[in-house]
Structures are given as structure tokens and as C-alpha cells.
Amino acid sequence: MLDRTALRMLRPSFDAAAASLQRAGVSADQVTLFGFVTGVAAALAIATQHPLIGLVVLLASRWCDGLDGELARLTTPTDRGGFLDITLDFLVYASIPLAFAIADPAANALAAALLLAAFIGTATTFLAFAVMAGQRGLKNAAYPSKGMYYLGGLTEGTETLACFALMCLWPAQFALFATVFAALCGLTIATRLWAGWRAFSA
């Protein structure tokens, strides 16, 4: 829901950094892989009960996630890059609830499992819609720079990152945040199922 606003606010920083990286010979795939590694590092910090460090590293990871696309557009976007981007993004997102479950299994495991199940729902509806939309040649005018059809929802990347920030700032409340966000993800799943039903009925 907030991704378009966030991208618009951050684009100047992405553009400046992307131009510098292009001059230095850094590829978009390298930035994608670095963002994934730092995302995993954030999860490891959380799992070892250092959530504030984890949050700082996670923010760096997600900044790289926005940067790689801008860098790709300065060169030549590739299907490989788009595949890596979306796949590694979902793996980073899944690693954070798992990290909280590892940090405190007794308090967090059930809520983490609920949130991960909700993530499976949001990811599969997102990707399934993108596949079918690609087969039909559909484009989303709201996200023209995306390499695949980007179906929005109530819980997009910006909302997910905000929820993770709350969890890192108040880790004792992880179960509450995870349960509420899982419910919001459920609404996203429902709206995407309805969107797919309508879009592909013909």
C-alpha cells in the first residue's frame, strides 16, 4: 500500500548511488546478492538476541533492494536479475520471523509460524498473479519500472519492513506484532485472490 510513496521518496538517493556504482563497475546482481547477505546477517543478529543491530543491518539490506533495480535500469535489466531480486527478497522476509522464533522459541515460535504461513499466502498470490498476467501481456501502470506484474496490497514491502522494525524495537511484543500482521496479510491474500478471479475470468 505504501510502496509507491516510499519509492518516490527514496528515488533520489537510489539514483545518485546507482550512478556512482555504475561508474565503479558494480553490477545490479552484485547489489542484489549483497542485499541478500546483509538480510541474512540481520536475521542472524536477531536470532542471537541483538535485534537493534539486526534492524540497522536489515534497513541496509532493504535499501540495497531498492538500489539494485535503479542500477539495472542504468545498464540492461535481465530476467536473471529480476528472478534473483524477487526470490532473495522473499527469503530475507521469511528469515526474520524465523530468527525471532530461534531467539525465544517458547514465546515466539507459534506466532512466527502463523506469520510465515501468511507470508506463503501473500507470496504465492503475488507470484501466481504475475505469471498469469505475464502470459496475457498485462502491465501495471502504477509500477511501470518493475520487471514483472507488481500486484499491490495492504501489506507490501514497506509495511512489512515497518512491522519488522517494531519487532526489533520491542522484541518482547513480537507475538502480538506477528499475529496482527498475519491478520493483515490475510486481508492482502483475500484481495489478491479476488483480483485474480476478476482479471482471469475471461
DSSP assignment string, the chain: --HHHHHHHHHHHHHHHHHHHHHHT--HHHHHHHHHHHHHHHHHHHHTT-HHHHHHHHHHHHHHHHHHHHHHHHS---HHHHHHHHHHHHHHHHHHHHHHHHH-HHHHHHHHHHHHHHHHHHHHHHHHHHHHHHHHT---TTSTT-SS-----SS-HHHHHHHHHHHHHSGGGHHHHHHHHHHHHHHHHHHHHHHHHHHT--
Average pLDDT estimate for 168-172: 98
Dig out the grid coordinates for 50 from the structure: 541483538
Q: Of 9-18, 24-33, 103-112, which one has max mean pLDDT? A: 103-112
Contact criterion met (CB below 8 Å) for 44 and 100: no
- pLDDT at residue 142 above 90? no
Percent of the chain with pLDDT over 70: 94
pLDDT category at 199 given cuts 50, 70, 90 is confident
pLDDT category at 3 given cuts 50, 70, 90 is low
Residues 6+ apart with CB under 8 A from 127: 86
Mean pLDDT over the full length of the chain? 90
- pLDDT at residue 143 above 80? no
Contact criterion met (CB below 8 Å) for 125 and 189: yes
pLDDT category at 40 given cuts 50, 70, 90 is very high
Question: What pLDDT, on the 0 to 100 scale, is given for residue 69?
Answer: 83
- pLDDT at residue 72 above 70? yes
Q: Is 172 exposed, middle or buried (0-12, 13-18, 19+ CB in 10 A)?
A: exposed
CATH assignment of 3-199, given 3.10.450.50, 1.10.3860.10, 3.30.420.40, 1.20.120.1760?
1.20.120.1760
Question: What pLDDT, on the 0 to 100 scale, is given for residue 168?
Answer: 98
Lowest pLDDT segment from 1-15, 21-35, 94-108:
1-15
> Phi and psi for 112 in degrees, rounded to 5?
-65, -40
**More confidently predicted of 176 and 14:** 176
Question: What pLDDT, on the 0 to 100 scale, is given for residue 15?
Answer: 79
Question: What pLDDT, on the 0 to 100 scale, is given for residue 53?
Answer: 98
